[in-house]
């Protein structure tokens, strides 16, 4: 039994291209984002998935659709949940990073971006994001993997950072250094207890 889990960050969105704190805003992929999704599909060539999960945001939904089309797996069941959404950026949502630094100060903005426990005004910290992502993963996704179903998750930089933090048992101090560029993919083989047997970047 393989117990395969593949995590993918969506391709570049219009928000990423504009240097904007996108959060729960809902921009589409750019042409580069589509190219990034196609590149992930090429890296996954030969993998036959049994189920896929994605967030309720367009950029992730478009990415999973492109990947599955390229793999000729258009009919694969795709489960959508807002629990996999990007971190909510509160008052930073829709603001460029340059403008945010002008309004709140570069030190505050950097702390909100990278810290585990600090949240931007009206938004979520990485800790808050983990608090919604992890229960969903444990109750809705992990059972499929433990049954031997090859599982694909397409989500976002911070929702994936939160999940990887739990899977790889990364400390709250070290997680501040983990960056996941758009179009990144990670492959894990899990043990029968859900812990990682082997993991690699694609």
Give the C-alpha distances (Å, rounded to integers) separating 39 from 57, 191, 200. 21, 28, 16
Report how far residue 134's alpha carbon sits from residue 63's, in angstroms, rounded to the nearest whole number. 22
Q: Which of 10, 88, 144, 156 is catalytic?
A: 10
Phi, psi of 161 (to 5 degrees): -60, -45
108 is an active site residue: no
Phi, psi of 156 (to 5 degrees): -130, 165
- Concerning whether 10 is annotated as a catalytic residue, the answer is yes
Q: Distances from the Cα of 80 to the Cαs of 34, 56, 196, in angstroms?
A: 20, 6, 24
What's the CA gap between 183 and 157, in Å, rounded?
Answer: 10
Catalytic pick among 36, 61, 62, 86: 86
Q: Which residues are catalytic?
A: 10, 86
């Amino acid at each position: 039994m393989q117990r395969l889990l593949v995590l993918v960050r969506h391709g570049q969105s219009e928000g990423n291209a504009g240097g904007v704190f996108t959060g729960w805003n809902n921009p589409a992929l750019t042409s580069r984002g589509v190219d990034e999704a196609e590149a992930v599909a090429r890296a996954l060539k030969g993998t036959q998935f049994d189920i896929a999960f994605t967030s309720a945001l367009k950029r992730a939904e478009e990415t999973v659709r492109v990947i599955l089309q390229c793999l000729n797996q258009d009919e694969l069941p795709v489960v959508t949940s807002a629990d996999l959404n990007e971190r909510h950026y509160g008052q930073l949502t829709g603001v460029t990073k340059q403008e945010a630094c002008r309004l709140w100060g570069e030190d505050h903005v950097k702390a909100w971006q990278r810290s585990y426990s600090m949240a931007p005004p009206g938004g979520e910290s990485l800790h808050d994001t983990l608090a919604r992502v992890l229960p969903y993963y444990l109750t809705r996704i992990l059972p499929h993997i433990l049954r031997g179903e090859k599982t694909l998750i397409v989500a976002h930089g911070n929702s994936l950072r939160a999940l990887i933090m739990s899977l790889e048992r990364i400390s709250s101090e070290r997680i501040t250094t983990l960056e996941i560029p758009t179009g990144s993919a990670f492959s894990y083989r899990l043990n029968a207890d859900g812990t990682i047997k082997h993991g690699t970047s694609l």
